[in-house]
Amino acid sequence: MTDIHQLGDKELLDRNTANSLDAQDPLSKFRQEFAIPTRGDVAGDKPIVEKETDLEEPCTYLCGNSLGLMPKQTPILVNQEFDAWSRRGVEGHRNHPYNRPWVTVDEQVKEHLANLVGAKPVEVTAMNTLTSNLHSMMTTFFRPTKDRFKIMIEAKAFPSDHYAVSSHLESRGLDPATALITIAPRAGELNLRTQDILDTIEGDKSIALVMLSGVQYYTGQFFDIPKITKFGQEKGCIVGWDLAHAVGNVPLKLHEWQVDFACWCSYKYLNSGAGGIAGLFIHEKYAKDTSRPRLAGWWGNEKENRFDMSPEFRPSEGASGYQQSNPNVLATIALLSSLQIYEQAGGIEALRIKSLKLTGYLEKLLHLVLDAHFKADHIRILTPADPEQRGCQLSLEFPERMMDVFDGLHAYGVICDERKPTVIRLAPVPLYNSFADVYRAVMCLAKVMDQVYSS
């Protein structure tokens, strides 16, 4: 297997190198499990610069960090649920033509989710959506006292996390102006230093809950989850994680790392479709703990006596005890369809091996092909250069002409996303992206940059 770090400039610039890396890639066959929009599909009413004939070609999709592509199997499985519904009606809850009775549909994904995040099945469940699960976990794990009443998040946390934490504090009669602690990179630096995170925790004894993201959505920085978790807990904090950009992207060992709780959405790297059902992890140490308050619902009740319809709540052990409503079957089965592919591909460990190569290749090619633009400060990479401190995503900053670059890439059928004012995120996803995708994206970017800066 070619080591991308051994490739010389001439080989890197050669398109055949991308093809040969794809030929050597044991995971390349999984690309065909996904529906990839064509360049014509994504062009919409925006101009497209390629020849007409190329409109049938697949677009170069580097946006799995925002919305993962659809597995071709998903409409088949979801249609089976419509079939079950049409043929069985309410009976489908227990008597299901495809052996996925709806009363226990959430159990279909439990084991898969546990494998993905390094957990025991009792520690995970699929439920609700990410932001509502964050609220739910704060209800349970944020127990403010007179001396400890603060929540710590990143200054540039995803806006929904900001809103959730601020509004949650207010719902407890606390003022975010004093109870919300945010942490930012040092002046002139792009990423947070682990030591600064630890020092902030150490420096403020009134922090009750540390809630950071596993992989930062904007910069792509992958935080040292075990170290921060251990340190925060030693200082008396609960440590929870928002894994929206980490799950399905980087290997996680939530059980071993003793993480208190974690939440994630499933439509990014987990390809469950827009608004898909979210995931929840609660460490086994709380599996039988009924001392904490929770936002309960009937689906959190033990399944053996859920239908006794008793007003007395008897929670299931572990994460399932925090479920509220009966889960959305269509969303759960869409998620299952994608998780089955993860399993076939050998799980997140196998994907990470490819991911390190794919993103390493992207980084090397960018520096080589866009060297002059890097030197002229037209572009820089925000994401840490250390592969251990990032997932698959590279965040590129274009201080002056970001939207022109973004529109130019779109016109070539390179689909990525922009975060105003200056950032474009490229995420080569190991499950369906190829080295040829990366090669094409960089070559298109080079053409676009030359056009933008010559006009």
Q: Which is nearer to ligand PLP, 68 or 384 (CB)?
A: 68
Report yes or no: 98 and 84 within 8 Å, Cβ to Cβ: yes
Stretch that binds ligand PLP, among 158-166, 307-315, 368-376, 394-402 (CB under 6 A): 158-166
Selected from 2, 73, 80, 160, the binder of ligand PLP by CB under 6 A is: 160
Selected from 61, 158, 299, 398, the binder of ligand PLP by CB under 6 A is: 158
Selected from 21, 43, 130, 238, the binder of ligand PLP by CB under 6 A is: 130
Residue with tokens 């520690």: 123
Number of residues that bind ligand PLP (CB under 6 A): 12
DSSP strands (E only) in 142-194: 150-154, 180-183
Which tokens go with 315?
């929670």
Q: What are phi and psi of 127, to 5 degrees?
A: -165, 155
Phi-psi region of 73 (alpha: psi -120 to 50; beta: other; left: phi over 0): alpha
CA distances from 184 to 190, 239, 293, 322 (A): 9, 18, 32, 32
End-to-end Cα, the chain, rounded Å? 42
Q: Which residues pair with 262 in a beta bridge?
A: 241, 281
What is the distance between the alpha carbons of residues 393 and 87, in angstroms, rounded to a whole number? 44
Query: Least Å distance between CB 242 and ligand PLP?
Result: 5
Q: Which is nearer to ligand PLP, 154 or 363 (CB)?
A: 154
Selected from 74, 108, 139, 213, the binder of ligand PLP by CB under 6 A is: 213
Stretch that binds ligand PLP, among 20-28, 241-249, 347-355, 363-371 (CB under 6 A): 241-249
Query: Least Å distance between CB 452 and ligand PLP?
Result: 29
Selected from 36, 84, 153, 244, the binder of ligand PLP by CB under 6 A is: 244
What is the distance between the alpha carbons of residues 269 and 432, in angstroms, rounded to a whole number? 11
- Interaction of residue 242 with ligand PLP, rule CB under 6 A: yes
Q: Which is nearer to ligand PLP, 240 or 408 (CB)?
A: 240
Q: Which is nearer to ligand PLP, 270 or 431 (CB)?
A: 270
Stretch that binds ligand PLP, among 49-57, 73-81, 238-246, 247-255 (CB under 6 A): 238-246
Contacts of 105 (CB under 8 A, 6+ apart): 327, 329, 332, 333
- Interaction of residue 218 with ligand PLP, rule CB under 6 A: no
Burial class (CB in 10 A: 0-12, 13-18, 19+), 117: buried
Q: Which is nearer to ligand PLP, 242 or 397 (CB)?
A: 242
What is the distance between the alpha carbons of residues 12 and 7, in angstroms, rounded to a whole number? 6
Report yes or no: 245 and 65 within 8 Å, Cβ to Cβ: yes
Q: Which is nearer to ligand PLP, 108 or 131 (CB)?
A: 131
- Interaction of residue 100 with ligand PLP, rule CB under 6 A: no
- Interaction of residue 168 with ligand PLP, rule CB under 6 A: no
Which x/- pattern over 394-433 shows residues binding ligand PLP (rule: CB under 6 A)?
----------------------------------------
Positions that interact with ligand PLP (CB under 6 A): 129-131, 158, 160-161, 213, 217, 242, 244-245, 265
